[in-house]
């Protein structure tokens, strides 16, 4: 998996958009960008993934730069329940090997 | 869909005893399962990968005789911590993959908090 770099922590006001950046400058052409989050004392939860195009689902939006060297996860209206550690992972998605977790970004949503 | 059930969620055991943790895929067949370990305020670290019907592959530094993994069916994998010691206290998380779901396929259990006293 390509190495990813994320800020260790971020704060976001409740109700505002949370924009979490991720750098993956060595990502290969067949690696997807995955985002997971882990709420305290729970297992990781899948959020979204993408290859080249921007993606949106009911949880978040994923913006991938044209050169694919970085991406941003957007939580459009952060709530207190979005407080978690967010992990950005570059992975082929082939299913035969593990996801490798970095240190992630600790997002704190503040009332 | 794609739910992974992990049990128990919490367990306290005495030093020297063994503890079994179960990981079940409830609505899909898990061709591969992964076991992770997580210390407080640290990231997840892979312990081993298991494919149904074959021996698990352990990461460097993980004692296979201490952390026994069995993946006897497409819906169940177990991790047994043998002769547990206080340093084995940690948060253990399983993940199951359904290859038919391609890149959507990684699903995690809710984790097991093991405390060895």
Q: Do A103 and B104 touch (CB under 8 A)?
A: no
The tens digit of pLDDT for each residue in A67-89 reads 999 999 999 999 999 999 999 99
Torsion (CA) B110, B115, B116, B117 in degrees, nearest 10? -160
What sign has the CA pseudo-torsion A67, A68, A69, A74?
A: positive
Select from B49, B95, B102 the Cβ nearest to the Cβ of A93.
B102
Q: Do B109 and A43 touch (CB under 8 A)?
A: yes
Peptide bond into B8 cis (omega under 30): yes
What span, in angstroms and rounded, lies between the C-alpha atoms of A70 and A49? Answer: 13
Q: Best of A35, A40, A44, A102 to disrupt the B interface by mutation (most B CBs within 10 Å)?
A: A44
| Beta-strand pair A70-75/A105-110 | unpaired
The tens digit of pLDDT for each residue in B22-44 reads 999 998 888 889 999 999 989 99
Q: Do A44 and B113 touch (CB under 8 A)?
A: no
User: Which DSSP state fits A31?
Assistant: P
Q: Average pLDDT for residues A48-62, to the nearest whole number?
A: 95
Confidence of residue B99 (pLDDT cuts 50, 70, 90): low
What span, in angstroms and rounded, lies between the C-alpha atoms of A43 and A61? Answer: 21
* A50/chain B closest Cα distance in angstroms: 9
Torsion (CA) B55, B61, B65, B71 in degrees, nearest 10? -30
Q: Does the beta carbon of B54 lie under 8 angstroms from any beta carbon of chain A?
A: no
Backbone angles phi, psi at A42, to 5 degrees: -130, 170
Find the closest chain B residue to A95 by CA distance: B99
* B41/chain A closest Cα distance in angstroms: 9
Residue that has been written with the tokens 């084995």 in this structure = B88
Torsion (CA) B56, B62, B63, B68 in degrees, nearest 10? -40
CA distances from A110 to A10, A36, A39, A62 (A): 10, 21, 15, 22
Find the closest chain A residue to B111 by CA distance: A43
What span, in angstroms and rounded, lies between the C-alpha atoms of B89 and B58? Answer: 19
Confidence of residue A27 (pLDDT cuts 50, 70, 90): very high
């Amino acid at each position: 998996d390509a190495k990813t770099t994320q800020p260790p922590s971020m704060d976001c006001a409740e109700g505002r958009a949370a924009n979490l950046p991720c750098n993956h400058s060595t990502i290969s052409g067949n690696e997807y960008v995955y985002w997971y989050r882990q709420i305290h004392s729970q297992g990781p939860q899948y959020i979204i993934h993408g290859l080249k195009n921007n993606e949106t689902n009911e949880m978040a939006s994923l913006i991938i730069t044209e050169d694919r060297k970085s991406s941003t996860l957007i939580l459009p209206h952060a709530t207190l329940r979005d407080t978690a550690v967010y992990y950005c992972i570059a992975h082929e998605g082939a299913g035969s090997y593990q996801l490798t977790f970095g240190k992630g970004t600790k997002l704190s949503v503040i009332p | 869909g794609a739910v992974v059930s992990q049990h128990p969620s919490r367990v306290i055991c005495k030093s020297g005893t063994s503890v079994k943790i179960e990981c079940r895929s409830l609505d899909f067949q898990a061709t591969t399962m992964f076991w992770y370990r997580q210390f407080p305020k640290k990231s997840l670290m892979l312990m081993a990968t298991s494919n149904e019907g074959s021996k698990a592959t352990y990461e460097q530094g993980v004692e296979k005789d201490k952390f026994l993994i069995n993946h006897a069916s497409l819906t169940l994998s177990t991790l047994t911590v043998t002769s547990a010691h206080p340093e084995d206290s940690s948060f253990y998380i399983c993940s199951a993959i359904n290859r038919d779901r391609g890149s959507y396929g990684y699903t995690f259990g809710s984790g097991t908090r093991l405390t060895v006293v």
